[in-house]
Amino acid sequence: MFQNPPKCWLMEQGDFITTFFETISPAAKGGVDYDFYYMPPIDPQYGKPMEFGGDLMSPFSDRPEVRAVEQFFSTFYGVAGWAAQGGTLMPQKDADPAIYATDLNRKVAQTLADATVVRFDGSDNMPGAVGSGTFWKAMTDWVAGTVDQKGALEEAQQGWTNVKK
């Protein structure tokens, strides 16, 4: 992507990847040398949908202090430090866009805030053999046109056969 001439013009990735871009190519500027765009819906009747990934909290005991930590990390102030570092979006409606370190991060956050439908990326909850294995390969094959939709779904499903239940 940062070679001359570039060998990659379009990359599907989470916004956290930009922190790696700046390490690989310190002269690269977000919004100038790389950017992102909103992927419009298949049909306008679905509004402005957006897919996102995230981290999940799971308490291992039901105690007041555990619930207090959960409550804190579900607020703007609980995750603001992560967002200020870059590569993290805050889903809270009261999030202050000024906390983001770059214009590009603010643009991504605003796009998420403006979405009418927000859905979690299901592959993040799949076992690695599927989510970043057969599902990932099947979807990239489908987008590349090397397999039709039925073939992609069959390819993705094959990963589940090796998952221990």
Do 52 and 84 lie in one domain? The reply is yes
Same domain, 69 and 112: yes
Query: What 3-state DSSP class applies to 49?
Result: strand
Give the tens place of pLDDT for each residue, 153-163: 999 998 888 78
pLDDT digits (tens, 9 = 90+) for 130-153: 988 999 899 999 989 999 999 999
User: Roughly what angle, to the nearest 10 degrees, separates helices 64-73 and 76-85?
Assistant: 50
Q: Tens digit of pLDDT for each residue in 78-130?
A: 888 888 887 778 878 788 889 998 888 899 888 888 889 888 887 878 888 89
**Do 105 and 58 share a structural domain?**
yes
Domain of residue 125 covers 121-165
Residues 79 and 144 in one domain: no
Euclidean distance between the first and the last CA atom of the chain, given in angstroms as a whole number: 40
Give the start-end residues of each E strand in the chain.
49-52, 117-120
State residue 165's pLDDT score: 64
Do both 15 and 71 map to the same domain? yes
Count how many domains the chain has: 2
Do 151 and 94 share a domain, yes or no?
no
* Confidence (pLDDT) at 135: 92
Same domain assignment for residues 48 and 108: yes
Q: Output the pLDDT for position 71.
A: 93
Q: Does 114 lie in the same domain as 41?
A: yes
| Same domain, residue pair 73 and 154 | no
Tens of pLDDT along 27-77? 888 888 889 888 888 888 989 998 888 777 889 999 999 999 999 988 888
Bridge partners of residue 50, in order along the sequence: 118
Q: Convert 125-164 into a string of H (helix), E (strand) and C (coil).
A: HCCHHHHHHHHHHHHHHHHHCCCCHHHHHHHHHHHHHHCC
Neighbouring CB atoms inside 10 A of 159's CB total 21
Report which of 111, 80, 75 is spatially closest to residue 93, judged by C-alpha positions: 75
